[in-house]
Structure 1
Amino acid sequence: MEHYTIATVAEQSPDFRRVLWTGKNTQLVIMTVPPGGEIGEEVHEDIDQILSFVSGVGEAIVSGEKRKVAAGDLVVVPAGRKHNFVNTGENPLILYTVYGPPEHAEGAVHATKEEADAAEESGQDEPPTE
């Protein structure tokens, strides 16, 4: 069994992206988006994503629709939808997200968005295959 006090774990991580747990069908990831930063516009063709916001404020953009997000909010991004999340506040935007199926390499830790983008582009951030 894996057990997390997820808000606390997420708030203690300084990393842009940290994979906490990877299963066969889902993956748990925590993220810290710095002020003025963003996750980056993307589309996961075959992956559903659920994002739960722990602290900070931001803007969710999913399929062109914009909504403000803050602690306690949850956003569902169905597979195939273009999306981005932008930190619009003065403090880090902290969240955890569940991908189904996994999207990132098991145990991946990326300190910055630039590091995360480089790992994806180089093929070092591939989800596990069965």
Structure 2
Amino acid sequence: MYHDPNGDPYQNHYYHYFPYHNYGWQPDPQNGINYHTPYRETQKDFGPAPFVVNINEAAKRNNTFRTALWTGSHLQVTLMSINAGEDIGLENHPNLDQFLRVEQGRGTVRMGKSRDNLNFVREVVDDSAIMIPAGTWHNVTNTGNTPLKLYSIYAPPQHPKGTVHQTKADAMAAEEHRHFSMPSANTYFYY
């Protein structure tokens, strides 16, 4: 038997605590039984019901340009996958704050008070958090060789509940349609 001079009976004492993440397992609110949330296979908006997810895994497994994961009355979480060399698109949300977190990949974020003066420039990598105040012009560009995986939190929600944009072109078309069909003061896009 292994004997640790510090009295620890485990040979590899770094791993005797269980991880806190749940790999997508969710409690069933109707009968209390655990079931696996198929966020790998399903592109579904789980809001506004209570929801717990391993956001790191969900973001890394997402292969769509944008998928609304959870939409509530005052907040929205979306998953994004930006292909190498692509960007989110220069945008401005006059009436909402935005939070982005990079889960995988590398990129550059640019922000500024006007679309022609993006003087705040930072490199972002795994675990980088980006806070974007309302009214700030911003863009994120993937400068790596692999997809840039991230999630975004909007407060209040920015996209319709259940939004899924497979590609950036789909997102641009949806925004163009939205601007012409029901004008909104929440966003200005310049692709």
TM-score category, normalised to shorter length? over 0.9
Aligned to 1:116: 171
**When the two structures are superposed, what TM-score results if normalisation uses the length of structure 1?**
0.94
Aligned to 1:50: 99
Q: Which runs of 5+ in 1 are unaligned?
A: none
CA distance in 1, matches of 2:53, 2:152: 13
Q: Which runs of 5+ in 2 are unaligned?
A: 1-49, 113-117, 185-191
Q: CA deviation at 1:71?
A: 0.5
Structure with bigger strand share is 1
Matched pairs, number: 127
**When the two structures are superposed, what TM-score results if normalisation uses the length of structure 2?**
0.64
CA deviation digits over 1:57-85, x for unaligned, max 9?
00000112100000010010000000000
- Cα RMSD (Å): 1.6
Superposed, which structure 2 residues align to 1:21-100 within 5 Å?
21-63=70-112, 64=118, 65-100=120-155
Q: CA deviation at 1:32?
A: 0.2
Determine helix, strand or coil for the equivalent of 2:81: strand
CA distance in 2, matches of 1:4, 1:40: 27
Runs of 4+ in structure 1 off by over 4 angstroms are: none
Q: Percent identity?
A: 38
CA distance in 2, matches of 1:114, 1:7: 25
Ranked by relative contact order (alpha carbons within 8 Å, sequence separation 6 or more), the top structure is 1
